[in-house]
Amino acid sequence: MTRFADIDLVSVFAAGPGGGNPAPIVADAGGLSDADMRAVAAAHGHESAFVLPPPSGSACDFTLRFWVPNHEMEMCGHATVGAVWLLDRLGRLPRGAVTIATLSGDVEARVENAGTPEARVEISQPKGQVAALPDEEDAIAELLSILNIGRMDLAPLPVRNARTSRVKTLIPLKSVAILEGLKPDFGRIEQFCEKVGSTGLYPFAVCESQARTFDARQFPKSSGYPEDAATGIAAAALAFGLLEAGQIAADGGPIQIRQGRVMGRPSRIAVRLRSGLDGAISGCWLGGAVRFDGRFKFPLPGG
């Protein structure tokens, strides 16, 4: 007998018609194997999230696992936002603020206007870490070659590895036009990322027309597709890279990261730095709009 998984498809961080990063969500994944989860991700070609019971004895409300076509991921920002939004839509959130177990650690999530069409989700990320690339000068030269640009195309900011949950290589460019014109040598990205300890390249540029707004593109290391329409974890990493470079203030005001426009999937991610009781930056919140794109049944392999 064929086994089926119920898939809810959402698009996260959508900023216009056709926008956002698609995320297949399985809201009840308790009976799925690793092979089943990977098959769902491979069939759709996107990061997929699977909702499971919380670890025994934990204070979490549920567990999320994430798969791309090639492998399991420790954390995926847009799929987490999408899953929490979906659980609220389905009436399955116990309260407006929940804690989620992931392979990268516990994540807080909160929903404004829970249970309404105006529901909006934010998730937490820990304080970012920012570091120079190993063998920096050689690495930057190789990076420019991969992106098919020259040093004159870089903005006067440092190229950095940054992370909240996953390391991203932040590449500051002089203009949005240079960013949108990038034609990377995709065949060299995985090896480069392996060399510098990154999970993806995140070139970005300042949006001149809107304050505290940045345009970005994400070229993942080895996810099974060449570019992401919206990458919450990379946007969170970018916020801390910008903070270290003195490009944003250490306040609670949001910065906006626009992504996906070159792909025809305009997206917008909001990131807000958060402070602890002592006033020091302790992490950030990231969130954005979610759109429901439909529900369907997926035949599982070997069923």
Q: Are residues 293 and 236 in the same domain?
A: no
Q: Are residues 71 and 176 in the same domain?
A: no
Question: What tokens does 211 get?
Answer: 């304050």
Whether residue 250 has pLDDT greater than 70: yes
**Residue 16 maps to a domain:** yes
Q: Are residues 266 and 166 in the same domain?
A: yes
How much is the pTM? 0.92
**Residue 284 maps to a domain:** no
Q: Coil, helix or strand for 72?
A: strand
Question: What is the structure's pLDDT at 34?
Answer: 94
Q: Are residues 239 and 121 in the same domain?
A: no
pLDDT, mean over the chain: 94
**Residue 160 maps to a domain:** yes
Q: Are residues 109 and 142 in the same domain?
A: no
Whether residue 282 has pLDDT greater than 70: yes
Whether residue 74 has pLDDT greater than 70: yes
> Which residues neighbour 26 within 8 Å (Cβ) at sequence distance 6 or greater?
5, 6, 7, 8, 32, 37, 40, 48, 49, 50, 51
Whether residue 303 has pLDDT greater than 60: no
Q: Are residues 106 and 118 in the same domain?
A: yes
Q: What is the pLDDT of residues 200-228, one digit of tens each?
A: 999 999 998 788 999 999 999 988 889 99
**Residue 282 maps to a domain:** no
Range ranked top by mean pLDDT from 34-48, 99-113, 246-260: 99-113
**Residue 283 maps to a domain:** no
Q: What is the pLDDT of residues 89-139, one digit of tens each?
A: 999 999 999 999 999 999 999 999 998 888 999 999 999 999 999 999 999
Q: Are residues 180 and 93 in the same domain?
A: no
* Beta carbons of 52 and 30 less than 8 angstroms apart: yes
Question: What is the structure's pLDDT at 46?
Answer: 85
Whether residue 143 has pLDDT greater than 60: yes
Q: Are residues 116 and 206 in the same domain?
A: no
Q: Are residues 243 and 200 in the same domain?
A: yes
**Residue 219 maps to a domain:** yes
* Beta carbons of 121 and 287 less than 8 angstroms apart: yes
Whether residue 54 has pLDDT greater than 90: yes
Whether residue 27 has pLDDT greater than 70: yes
CA dihedral in degrees (243, 244, 245, 249; nearest 10)? 30
How many structural domains compose the chain? 2
Task: Give the CATH number of the domain where residue 246 resides.
Answer: 3.10.310.10
Question: What tokens does 239 get?
Answer: 């916020």
Q: Are residues 150 and 38 in the same domain?
A: no
| Residue 108 belongs to domain spanning | 4-126+289-299
Instruction: Find, among 133, 77, 134, the residue nearest to 270 by Cα.
Output: 77
Q: Are residues 242 and 145 in the same domain?
A: yes
Query: What average pLDDT does range 76-81 have in this prediction?
Result: 95
Q: Are residues 12 and 45 in the same domain?
A: yes
Residue predicted with more confidence, 283 or 69: 283
Whether residue 253 has pLDDT greater than 90: no
